[in-house]
Structure 1
Amino acid sequence: MLDTRKKTAAALRSARWFAADDLRSFGHRSRMMQLGYAEEEFMGKPMIGILNTWSELNACHGHFPERVRDVKRGVAQAGGFAVEMPSLSVDETFTKPTSMLYRNMLAMEVEETIRSHPLDGVVLMGGCDKTTPGLVMGALTAGAPMIFLPAGPMLRGHYAGRVLGSGSDAWKFWDERRAGNITREEWLGIQGGIARSVGTCMTMGTASTMTAITEAMGLTLPNASSIPAADSGHQRMASACGRRIVEMVWEDLTPDRIVTDAAVRNAAIVAMATGCSTNAVVHLIAMARRAGVDLSLDDLDALGRVTPLLANVRPSGKDYLMEDFFYAGGLRALMKRIEGRLDTSAVTVTGGTLAEDLDGAKVYDDDVIRPLSNPVYHEGSLAVLRGNLCPDGAVIKPAACDPKYHVHEGPALVFDSYPEMKKAVEDETLEVTADHVLVLRNAGPQGGPGMPEWGMLPLPRRLVKEGHRDMLRISDARMSGTSYGACVLHVAPESFVGGPLALLRTGDTVRIDLPNRRLDMLVDAAELERRRAAWVAPEPRYQRGYGYMFQRHVGQANEGCDFDYLARSFGKVADEPEIY
């Protein structure tokens, strides 16, 4: 076990607010008493902030009010004092134009909430896609002891004898609906059966990807990311988080001792082995950089080339969902299976090493969590492409697309906006074949704005009716982690700021060569220079407010889309002021 560094009550951060015999501390104690607390309830105890991203529009976090009570129970058992601190929910379903626009806002809120309040440690409650990276990014920068409580996946979906996976089956059956193969009654049945409990998407979408990454970094209790939200084990895990964060405060186990180069590398390897969402690229780079770890697209591609995909969970896998993954042993079992590829000396929130956390882990179903000798896919989940269309990189999920598009050449069909593209693909007279390459631009970090999940461009209705279910699609957008298909995403630099995608024209030949990691437009360099000279920058999306700040400071996809002024290299954070 890690050598612990015990604190005294006088050394607690919260003591600066409450312990002194002065007027200001008198006021703090008085206001706590106004809230109904006696001094013996909070004085001399670690004050634990429970940062809760619940809202009534976030179904993924619908159980969080109950889990707060579970965490508080654990904190009290360990001799701490818990306070709930509401945080921006950033729900994935209803937030317009995209939740990604507000990930950095959540990170800023978390950092400042911790810094400005008498909190000795925090429990971060998240799971819906952007809440996990947003919470972790902010807490990493704030530096107080922290533990992450994953929301957990929802139960598997069901309709008419079929097992349904959230997101993935929505896309699949929508194409069948567009082709006239599904009745309205069936469509409504699928609608009611695809998401039937609280919790995040139960496919290996962005939510499960990011909570798995957070666990692999050492920021959750062992196997916490795999427990279904509706399982009673999730309640027990929540109370255990409450007990453990109090111990972490006394041990002064801060995140900088956990999120090291080794921990980030472990997280990237585990992401590849799980069949992670393409969104993992943007978030993992941003999280790593907040911890002072320089992680690049090339690092991720190198790991992807040598890490086999072992989690047979949709959409990269063929058969199973997160509930099955949990029954098969969960993330702890998958990590045990690739233990030899991980740095198991890395410290976790348990206070021990990853090796200790994995001791005794077993796989109970070799088809759900495959052995190294029988992977779902011989390489990891993601591949990074470069070429004259994406000099700073682009991302594709090879295992989730038709292999015939791993090497492909075809004419581009280019759209400048999502509404334009959406209208065109529903037009059955559209002149398009399965060899065409659909292209959407002006959908990146600034162009979207916020880099929306538009990258899984819908197939033209004409092709769907002909029986086609995949084609090559390219954009500077993201796509849902539950999506699939031959979709090239995160093209950088984005077209809105003058990236090469802005110069592509309908009819130009585009070539992808996945084995050699290339994506190019076969256009003469001199012609591209003429087009660049004629290119006119579009008007900014925002004239005021948060959007104004976002578009001027957000990085490109290959940089994690964090704000430049939040990077560790930007400048020194102001010293925490004295309590007057």
Structure 2
Amino acid sequence: MLRSDHWYAAEGKDGYIHRAWMRRGLPPDAFDGRPQIAIANTGSDLTPCNSHFDQIARSVERGVYEAGGIPLNLPVVSLGETLVRPTAMLWRNLAAMAMEEMFRANPIDGLVLLGGCDKTIPALLMAAASVDLPAVVVPGGPMLNGSFRGRPISCGTDVWKLSEEVRAGGMDAAEFRRSESSMIRSRGHCNTMGTASTMAVVAEALGMTLPGVAGTPAPDSRLLEASHATGRLAVDLVRTGRRPSDVITKASFHNAIVALAAVGGSTNAVVHLLALAGRLGIDLSLEDFDRIGMDVPLLANLEPSGKYLMEDLFRAGGPLAVLQQVRDLLDPTAITVTGEPLVDYLADNEIYDTDVIAERDQPVQERAGIAVLRGNLAPAGAIIKPAAASPQLLQHRGRAVVFDSIEDVRARLDDPDLDVDADSVLVLRGCGPKGYPGMPEVANLPIPKKLLEQGVRDMVRVCDGRMSGTAYGTVVLHVAPEAAAGGPLALVRTGDIISLDVRARTITLEVTDDELASRTPPAAFADGLASPARGWERLYVDHVQQADTGVDLDFLVGRTGPVVGRESH
């Protein structure tokens, strides 16, 4: 018996209402044992990276119908990374909660999840895991490579580079403006190994996509071919009863962490994977990222850690060619939505350009995972992406220059009288889950203008917020507990010495415990913290967890399943 039969097979007026209102041109047998497949569509004109999803949905629909199912387009909450204020991360949990409730409330037997822009794949996976209906992801794909001034221009990463050149006086504002249409050349999400590309690769490594689809460029017809095949697969998932809880296991997370390191993926994947594990009741910790990922070589030569873009990765063999090189590091027991182990799909994947995808014995970097730091400045942990950092700064000791808010940064960073030099450690606080709220991507603080003019392009920066997956630099981020939750970051003063030692996995404030205990946060910091009076922001601030556990809401942790609490009209 299908789940949807509880609606459509009912006798009397309830069954009549369910069937009659849904007929509207469907064949008479539409409700006679045919799996009802919802296409959870995050396409929106206000999520420009996902604006092509209606075309993808049509290909999925054809595949579903061909396999004997009934396709149902279901628009769900969409989050545009570049537009949503104050930060898209504030709404990830709301999107996941709304999706979960709609999946559970409707006569749905299976799901095809269309995601692309940064928060959409995480929200879809979190929702699907919580409701645990058969589900499969179609990643929307990266945009095509752009070019400017005769050289490739990357989406996201070059925004940071070019904007710094404008601030340093090396490019005028008009030229910066002209680069816009060159950078965003086609439909699709960021073409660097930013968060969107990372989460597509991670979804495949978790086993939640048709193997081989991640990284297919958005305008490539092969994405539509894969979408059609995914529609057929969704019907098969319903008939076999394979659910996210069958596919996403501790072994799957192991493989996702290996993939994250091998492609030089975004630090944002850490909070998304931790949140997803929480939904499934799987024990995943920050230490797992360090233990599993730190000795994995970086093989994908992609910005921001390398020089190529996602279209090049696809041309060179794609994510599966990367994973083939580290097959021995993967857990062979983890399966995919097809029911077959992920490792079974790796054998025939060749590298066609070793400058884009390095072979195992000649990696881009020997170790590329995300390092987990602890110390009196981050008792619950902080992270850094060594592959995107300056090697000479991975062990560093410097004087703190503290900013109490983003507004404080804007007001003082470029002040010629700011007491800062290249060895200083820039500290930004009040940007964690509660404090901002929403944990914005501001951890990669701009370099002070007077230092840019001296040629400085990287400094150690410490923050309780996040960093864009397209960004780079020696940035310690996700400091937990955050300053707004009583973390020691709130007690740092300008002039304090901060010591970073990535090899030792430490971030230390060189202040005695007694001195720290005697301090209180400055009034300017406390006054700038979020204190919403109503609505989603109030609910979020009251219930959001810290970065080390995934920034989910405390009452959303765990899996409820697909059963509707009450059935009535």
The reply to whether TM is greater than 0.5 is yes
1:498 aligns with 2:489: no
1:198 aligns with 2:187: yes
Partner Cα distance (1:332, 1:304) in 2: 17
Change (3 A) 1:52 1:533: closer
Q: How does 1:144-183 map onto structure 2 within 5 Å?
A: 144-183=133-172
TM-score by length of 1: 0.95
Tell me the residue number matched to 1:6.
Answer: none
Partner Cα distance (2:522, 2:492) in 1: 13
Tell me the residue number matched to 2:336.
Answer: 348
Partner Cα distance (2:165, 2:530) in 1: 38
Q: How does 1:74-93 map onto structure 2 within 5 Å?
A: 74-93=63-82
Change (3 A) 1:467 1:256: same
Tell me the residue number matched to 1:115.
Answer: 104
8 Å CA contact retained: 1:397, 1:487:
yes
Partner Cα distance (1:234, 1:504) in 2: 50
1:101-159 CA distance string (max 9 Å, x none)? 01001111111111100000000000100111110001011011000010101111211
1:98 aligns with 2:75: no
1:237 deviates by 1.0
Candidates 263, 269, 282, aligned match of 1:293: 282
What SS class does the counterpart of residue 298 from structure 1 fall into? helix
8 Å CA contact retained: 1:555, 1:561:
yes
Letter in 1 for 2:454: E
8 Å CA contact retained: 1:58, 1:91:
yes
1:287 deviates by 1.0
1:484 deviates by 0.2
Tell me the residue number matched to 1:541.
Answer: 531
Tell me the residue number matched to 1:5.
Answer: none
Partner Cα distance (1:88, 1:566) in 2: 17
Tell me the residue number matched to 2:308.
Answer: 320
1:279 deviates by 0.6
Change (3 A) 1:207 1:434: same
1:85-113 CA distance string (max 9 Å, x none)? 11111110000000000100111111111
Partner Cα distance (1:577, 1:342) in 2: 43
Report the more deviating stretch, 551-560 or 183-192: 183-192
Letter in 2 for 1:313: L
Partner Cα distance (1:558, 1:532) in 2: 24
Candidates 283, 295, 302, aligned match of 1:306: 295
Partner Cα distance (1:149, 1:192) in 2: 27
1:182-212 CA distance string (max 9 Å, x none)? 1334212222211111111110000011111
8 Å CA contact retained: 2:100, 2:130:
yes
1:249 aligns with 2:214: no
1:281 aligns with 2:270: yes
Tell me the residue number matched to 1:4.
Answer: none
Partner Cα distance (2:285, 2:439) in 1: 19
What SS class does the counterpart of residue 410 from structure 1 fall into? strand
Tell me the residue number matched to 2:178.
Answer: 189
Tell me the residue number matched to 2:546.
Answer: 556
Q: Please list every run of 5 or more consecutive structure 2 residues that lacks an aligned counterpart in the other structure.
A: none
Report the more deviating stretch, 137-146 or 332-341: 332-341
1:534 deviates by 8.4
Candidates 510, 518, 541, aligned match of 1:530: 518
What SS class does the counterpart of residue 386 from structure 1 fall into? strand
Partner Cα distance (1:356, 1:194) in 2: 37
1:310 deviates by 1.1
1:250-283 CA distance string (max 9 Å, x none)? 1111111100111111111111111011111111
Tell me the residue number matched to 2:10.
Answer: 20
Partner Cα distance (1:356, 1:435) in 2: 49
1:403 deviates by 1.1
Report the more deviating stretch, 535-544 or 516-525: 535-544
Change (3 A) 1:572 1:21: closer
Tell me the residue number matched to 1:404.
Answer: 392
8 Å CA contact retained: 1:477, 1:490:
yes
Report the more deviating stretch, 496-505 or 41-50: 41-50
Report the more deviating stretch, 162-171 or 356-365: 356-365
Partner Cα distance (1:213, 1:572) in 2: 23
8 Å CA contact retained: 1:429, 1:462:
no
1:431 deviates by 2.4
Candidates 401, 407, 420, aligned match of 1:432: 420
Letter in 2 for 1:41: A
8 Å CA contact retained: 2:110, 2:135:
yes
Candidates 439, 442, 445, aligned match of 2:433: 445
Tell me the residue number matched to 1:391.
Answer: 379
Partner Cα distance (1:355, 1:55) in 2: 35
Letter in 2 for 1:346: A
1:448 deviates by 1.3
8 Å CA contact retained: 2:301, 2:364:
yes
Partner Cα distance (2:459, 2:44) in 1: 38
What SS class does the counterpart of residue 478 from structure 2 fall into? coil
Candidates 348, 351, 365, aligned match of 1:363: 351
1:339 aligns with 2:316: no
Letter in 1 for 2:12: D
Tell me the residue number matched to 1:49.
Answer: 38
8 Å CA contact retained: 1:16, 1:579:
no
1:533 deviates by 9.0
Candidates 181, 191, 214, aligned match of 2:203: 214
8 Å CA contact retained: 1:115, 1:576:
no
Report the more deviating stretch, 38-47 or 528-537: 528-537
What SS class does the counterpart of residue 489 from structure 1 fall into? strand
CA RMSD of aligned residues (A): 1.7
8 Å CA contact retained: 2:289, 2:369:
no
1:572 deviates by 9.3
Partner Cα distance (2:565, 2:260) in 1: 36
1:344 deviates by 2.3
Partner Cα distance (1:574, 1:249) in 2: 15
Partner Cα distance (1:381, 1:209) in 2: 13
Partner Cα distance (1:459, 1:189) in 2: 24
Candidates 447, 462, 465, aligned match of 2:450: 462
8 Å CA contact retained: 2:104, 2:563:
no
1:518 aligns with 2:510: no
Partner Cα distance (2:399, 2:473) in 1: 18
What SS class does the counterpart of residue 480 from structure 1 fall into? coil
Runs of 4 or more, structure 1, over 4 Å off, are 532-540, 571-575
8 Å CA contact retained: 1:497, 1:537:
no
8 Å CA contact retained: 1:510, 1:522:
yes
TM-score by length of 2: 0.97
1:308 deviates by 1.2
1:400 deviates by 1.0
Letter in 1 for 2:156: G
1:501 deviates by 0.1
Partner Cα distance (2:561, 2:3) in 1: 21
Candidates 366, 370, 375, aligned match of 1:382: 370
8 Å CA contact retained: 2:490, 2:521:
no
Partner Cα distance (2:192, 2:472) in 1: 12
What SS class does the counterpart of residue 380 from structure 2 fall into? coil
1:414 aligns with 2:402: yes
What SS class does the counterpart of residue 370 from structure 1 fall into? coil
